[in-house]
Amino acid sequence: MSLARRLPRPGLLIAAVVAILMLVAAIHPALFAGGGPAEGDLHATLQGPSGRHWFGTDQLGRDVFTRAVHGTRYSLSIGAAATGIGVVIASGWGLAAALSGRVGDTLLMRAADILLALPAVLLALMVVLITGKGVFGVTLAVAVGTAPGFARVIRGQALVVRRSGYVNAAVGLGVRRPLIIVRHVLPNTLAPLLVLATVTLGTSISTGAALSYLGLGAQPPTPEWGAMLTEGQGYLGQAWWIALFPGLLLVAMVLTVTVLGRDAQARSDGRTS
């Protein structure tokens, strides 16, 4: 019984394995797929899944499996970078709100409320309007979408930490204010935020791919999953595999991240309560 309890649940184990595989595929795709993502064989276009082409070939005879494997890095890095940027923006935002007195707090949090009232996709569209289409614009767009929610959490946490014993002690010891913020307040507000960021990472990956699907992010022939889906949608009647398989990998990635994130959340909730 004790052994059974120590072993992770099967779902969690699968998620961990898939996560490692995807990380490897993102860093070194050649390990899984030999050819290049742009290499096409015009004599073998629109072929169904087979032993040779696991995921079939697309309209230019490119191997969908190879392209999908190479696409791992785009979705993963857009999602991770966006979450990272979101955390950085939110840290400044939330801390400033918590530490800047009542008027500043109200203004900054009201601004967050307003951004939360707009649909994330619409917000992202506006960001892309400023930055122009491309991977950078989409990353920033997703980051801006996540930041207000993060900022709220960090503000709430900072308000608690500010009144904690160790901060009082530091104040009493005469530590300067900026140092207290950087050394004591920030690290202690980040812990719950990092858990939230893991849970949000799945959504970020998904939104990033959706924006690319809408033609705002990575452009063809980049093997980004969202862009591949757009290309494949034109061939749904003849060659369903072009759009289906990259999407399946996307689902697998989001699912994996969500399972791991929820586990992290459950663990952290268990620790604090």
Q: Which residues in this chain contact another protein in the complex, by CB under 8 A? A: 110-111, 113-115, 117-122, 125-130, 202, 206, 209-210, 213-216, 226, 229, 232-233, 236-237, 240, 243-244, 247, 250-251, 254-255, 258-259
Q: How far apart are CA 35 and CA 58, in angstroms?
A: 15
Phi and psi at 176, nearest 5°, equal -70, 150
Q: What's the closest the beta carbon of residue 187 comes to another protein, in angstroms?
A: 31
- Which CB atom, from 180 or from 223, has the smaller least distance to another protein? 223
Cα 134–chain centre separation:
17
Q: What's the closest the beta carbon of residue 59 comes to another protein, in angstroms?
A: 16
- Which CB atom, from 39 or from 113, has the smaller least distance to another protein? 113
- Which CB atom, from 189 or from 207, has the smaller least distance to another protein? 207
Q: What's the closest the beta carbon of residue 181 comes to another protein, in angstroms?
A: 28
- Which CB atom, from 15 or from 185, has the smaller least distance to another protein? 15
Q: How far apart are CA 79 and CA 130, in angstroms?
A: 20
The answer to whether residues 111 and 100 touch, using CB atoms and an 8 Å cutoff, is no
- Which CB atom, from 115 or from 171, has the smaller least distance to another protein? 115
- Which CB atom, from 14 or from 171, has the smaller least distance to another protein? 14
Nearest 5°: the CA angle 81, 84, 90 is 140
Q: How far apart are CA 191 and CA 160, in angstroms?
A: 13
Q: What's the closest the beta carbon of residue 140 comes to another protein, in angstroms?
A: 12
Q: What's the closest the beta carbon of residue 175 comes to another protein, in angstroms?
A: 37
Q: What's the closest the beta carbon of residue 90 comes to another protein, in angstroms?
A: 17
Nearest 5°: the CA angle 165, 166, 170 is 120
Q: How many CB atoms lie within 10 A of CB 106?
A: 12
- Which CB atom, from 189 or from 206, has the smaller least distance to another protein? 206
Among 82, 73, 213, residue whose Cα is nearest residue 143: 82
Q: How far apart are CA 133 and CA 78, in angstroms?
A: 14
Q: How far apart are CA 59 and CA 41, in angstroms?
A: 10
Q: What's the closest the beta carbon of residue 237 comes to another protein, in angstroms?
A: 5
CA separation, residue 70 to residues 22, 172, 250 (Å) = 10, 55, 12
